[in-house]
Amino acid sequence: MKKTCTHQPDCLRLIQRIIDREATPEEEATFLANKDQCLPCQEGFELEQSLRNAIKSNCSTKCPEALFARIKAKLFVVLILISILIPLFC
């Protein structure tokens, strides 16, 4: 097993894309087939997965509906203002 990874930054980005389900099936299959041969990639994958699982299990509260409604209303007003102001300056 390799003790160093010559392209670790790229591997870490790929690990995040795999966990976020943004990687292609080919990218994921290639990485998962090779990660057991590279200690930094294996540890990086396990660490990222553990962190994501810990965050998911500890962040279970939702935004209160009243707060969500106020934010949504303010964003709507901002969008209306933008749609009015853009034609004036273009």
DSSP letter string, 55-87:
HHHH------HHHHHHHHHHHHHHHHHHHHHHH
**Stretch 30-46: mean pLDDT:** 89
Contacts (Cβ under 8 Å, ≥6 apart) of 23: 14, 17, 31
Is 41 within 8 Å of 15 (Cβ atoms)? yes
**Stretch 13-26: mean pLDDT:** 93
- Model confidence at 34: pLDDT above 80: yes
What are the domain boundaries of the chain? 1-59, 62-90
pLDDT digit string, tens, across residues 41-50:
899 999 999 9
| pLDDT above 70 as % of the chain | 100
**What is the value of pTM for the model shown?**
0.60
Summary mean pLDDT of the chain: 88
pLDDT at res. 1: 82
